[in-house]
């Protein structure tokens, strides 16, 4: 499968302010430097794929396809364009597109186990709760229940650790929009958790 359209990698979007040594190496000899790109970014690419397809095995296939697309693109781009790439958002965008392609023609299903293993804290209470597997699974389940727009933004920001500028580039949205999406998604997640805890306490009090 060929990489996405050239227009998806606009220089104005992907140009970086300071040189990246790995980009310089890729521009000089992509075959020599590409394995280091994979090692440095495999967790990010797999994580982005997993947030979309929600299945670990499918995410592995998507990640492999994303790196194939990235390699082909690097072989095709002029050297100067390779040197100006912002690798993390560029790779995340490729993974996102590959994952969306994977979803076409099949129904998505929820697999929270992988997200539960990596869900990070969202405030004081989650930091404490994340130490207990049952409550980590609760956070992952609630995250999976968010609307896709907010779920993906929150997961990429807090689980895959994309910065807000990287997140904006990956999702193709304005910086202010992704900040709003993350804020809104986090608020929805917190509200869902609080509501579930209130219901649980009520049930326990009724039973006592």
pLDDT at 179 over 60: yes
pLDDT of residue 112: 40
pLDDT of residue 132: 53
Residue-averaged pLDDT of the chain: 80
Name the least confident of 14-28, 49-63, 113-127, 133-147.
113-127
CA atoms of 180 and 176, how far apart (whole Å): 6
**pLDDT tens, 104-139?**
745 433 344 444 444 444 444 444 544 556 777 788
Q: Name residue, tokens 């396809």.
A: 65
Helices (H), 54-174: 56-76, 79-83, 87-103, 113-118, 124-129, 133-144, 148-154, 164-171
Domains and CATH numbers, the chain: 10-103 (1.10.1740.10), 113-207 (1.10.10.10)
Residue 164 has pLDDT above 60, yes or no: yes
Distance of CA 1 to CAs 62, 111, 206, Å?
Answer: 12, 27, 58
Confidence class of residue 25 from pLDDT cuts 50, 70 and 90?
A: very high
Confidence of residue 182 (pLDDT cuts 50, 70, 90): very high
Dihedral sign, CA of 165, 171, 174, 177? negative
- Which residues have a Cβ under 8 Å from the Cβ of 190 and sit 6 or more positions away? 122, 123
């Amino acid at each position: 499968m060929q990489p996405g359209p050239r227009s998806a990698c606009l220089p104005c979007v992907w140009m970086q302010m300071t040189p990246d040594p790995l980009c310089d190496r890729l521009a000089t000899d992509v075959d020599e430097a590409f394995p280091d790109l994979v090692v440095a970014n495999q967790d990010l690419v797999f994580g982005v794929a997993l947030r979309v397809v929600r299945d670990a095995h499918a995410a592995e296939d998507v990640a492999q396809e994303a790196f194939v697309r990235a390699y082909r693109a690097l072989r095709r781009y002029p050297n100067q364009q390779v040197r100006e790439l912002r690798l993390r958002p560029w790779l995340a965008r490729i993974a996102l597109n590959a994952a969306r392609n994977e979803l076409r023609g099949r129904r998505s299903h929820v697999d929270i186990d992988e997200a539960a293993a990596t869900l990070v804290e969202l405030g004081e209470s989650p930091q404490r709760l994340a130490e207990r597997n049952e409550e980590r699974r609760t956070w992952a389940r609630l995250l999976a229940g968010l609307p896709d727009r907010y779920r993906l933004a929150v997961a990429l920001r807090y689980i895959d650790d994309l910065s807000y500028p990287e997140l904006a580039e990956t999702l193709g949205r304005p910086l202010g929009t992704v900040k709003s999406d993350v804020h809104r998604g986090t608020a929805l997640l917190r509200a869902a958790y609080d509501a579930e805890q209130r219901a649980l306490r009520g049930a326990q009090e009724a039973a006592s």
